[in-house]
Amino acid sequence: MTHANEEPAMRVRELLNQWQRSGEQEIQDQAFTVRLTRHEKAKIAALADMFPGRSETDIVLDLLRAALSELEAGMPYVPGPRVVSEDEQGDPLYEDIGPMPRYRELTRKHLEGQD
């Protein structure tokens, strides 16, 4: 499910299609340093060679975004005791007491701390 101000989820396997279609680079908001093994670095370099419109930084950023989307999609919904809404058929929808609400809350907290 996509919420306001969130990009639609992208699966890792969709990246290859995107890279083939688009050579434009996105502006990055912040720098983030990561350490890669030689093997991981070689894989990133190989992908950048395969898709010359994408820099190694673009490749890493795209992979990170796709992985985060898949992680979010994989967070289990755990129905709680409280009814928060009804679906189209009038059946109750229960609050989510799984990890997603806390994840969203902490994400908002960190976004607000960046202002």
Q: Is residue 59 scored above 60 in pLDDT?
A: yes
pTM of the predicted model, to two decimals? 0.68
> Could you tell me how far CA 81 lies from the centroid of its own chain?
29
Alpha carbon distances (Å) from 77 to 49, 73, 111: 40, 10, 23
Residue 60 confidence class, pLDDT cut points 50, 70, 90? very high
Q: Is 24 helix (H, G, I), strand (E, B) or coil?
A: coil
Q: Which of 20-24, 54-58, 64-68 has the lowest mean pLDDT?
A: 20-24
